[in-house]
Structure 1
Amino acid sequence: MTNHDRSRRGGLRTSAAVALVVTAALGLQGCGDAATTAPPSNGPSSTSTPSPTATSASPSASPTATQAAPAPTKTPELSVMEASKPASLVIPTIGVQSELVHLGQRSDGTLEVPTEGPGSPASWYTQSPTPGERGPAVMLGHVNATGGGPGVFAKLRELKSGDEIKVPRDDGSTAVFVVDKGVQYEKDDFPTLEVYGNTPGSELRLITCDGYQESTGLWDYNYVVYAKLKV
Structure 2
Amino acid sequence: MTTNRAGGRHGLPWRAAGSVVVVLLALAGFGLIGASFTESLPARPPQPPALADSPVGAAAPTSPDVAQPAPSGFARSAPSHIVIPRIGVNASIMKIGTNTDGTVEVPPLDQAQLAGWYEPGASPGEVGNAVIVGHVDSASIGPAVFFSLGELRPGDTVDVVREDGKQVDFTVESVKSYPKTDFPTELVYGPTDQIGLRVVTCGGVFDEAAGSYPDNIVVFATQAR
Question: Do the structures match in fold with TM over 0.5?
Answer: yes
Deviations 1:179-210 (A, max 9, x none): 01111111111121122211121100001111
Distance (Å, rounded) in 2 between the aligned partners of 1:22 and 1:162:
32
Q: Deviation at 1:149?
A: 1.5
Q: Deviation at 1:16?
A: 2.9
Secondary structure of the corresponding residue to residue 100 of structure 1: strand
Number of residue pairs the alignment of both structures matches: 185
Indicate if the aligned counterparts of 2:89 and 2:145 stay in contact, CA closer than 8 A. Answer: yes
Structure showing greater radius of gyration is 1
Question: Which residue of structure 2 aligns with residue 206 of structure 1?
Answer: 199
Indicate if the aligned counterparts of 2:10 and 2:202 stay in contact, CA closer than 8 A. Answer: no
Question: Which residue of structure 1 aligns with residue 54 of structure 2?
Answer: none
Distance (Å, rounded) in 1 between the aligned partners of 2:224 and 2:216:
25
Secondary structure of the corresponding residue to residue 181 of structure 1: strand
Matched, 1:223 2:221: no
Residue 195 of structure 1 aligns with an amino acid whose one-letter code is V
Indicate if the aligned counterparts of 2:112 and 2:141 stay in contact, CA closer than 8 A. Answer: no
Question: Which residue of structure 2 aligns with residue 58 of structure 1?
Answer: none
Of all paired residues, the percent bearing the same amino acid is 38
Match of 2:23 among 15, 22, 25: 25
Distance (Å, rounded) in 2 between the aligned partners of 1:108 and 1:7:
14
Indicate if the aligned counterparts of 2:14 and 2:23 stay in contact, CA closer than 8 A. Answer: yes
Question: Which residue of structure 1 aligns with residue 120 of structure 2?
Answer: 127
Residue 67 of structure 2 aligns with an amino acid whose one-letter code is T
Matched, 1:176 2:169: yes
Distance (Å, rounded) in 2 between the aligned partners of 1:196 and 1:74:
29
Deviations 1:114-164 (A, max 9, x none): 111265300000011000101100011000022462010000001111111
Secondary structure of the corresponding residue to residue 95 of structure 2: strand
Match of 2:189 among 178, 187, 196: 196
Paired residues for 1:1-231 under 5 Å? 8-17=8-17, 22=20, 24-27=22-25, 29-32=27-30, 74-79=66-71, 80-117=73-110, 119-147=112-140, 149-211=142-204, 212-231=206-225
**Alpha-carbon RMSD:** 2.3
State the TM-score, normalizing by the size of structure 2: 0.74
Q: Deviation at 1:108?
A: 2.7
Q: Which runs of 5+ in 2 are unaligned?
A: 1-5, 31-63
Distance (Å, rounded) in 2 between the aligned partners of 1:120 and 1:198:
29
Q: Which runs of 5+ in 1 are unaligned?
A: 1-5, 33-71
Change beyond 3 A, Cα 1:24–1:216 = closer
Change beyond 3 A, Cα 1:166–1:31 = same
Q: Deviation at 1:167?
A: 0.5
Indicate if the aligned counterparts of 2:29 and 2:105 stay in contact, CA closer than 8 A. Answer: no
State the TM-score, normalizing by the size of structure 1: 0.72
Residue 158 of structure 2 aligns with an amino acid whose one-letter code is I
Secondary structure of the corresponding residue to residue 109 of structure 2: coil
Q: Which moved more, 1:213-222 or 1:163-172?
A: 213-222
Change beyond 3 A, Cα 1:215–1:104 = closer
Change beyond 3 A, Cα 1:118–1:195 = closer
Distance (Å, rounded) in 2 between the aligned partners of 1:214 and 1:91:
30
Residue 122 of structure 1 aligns with an amino acid whose one-letter code is A
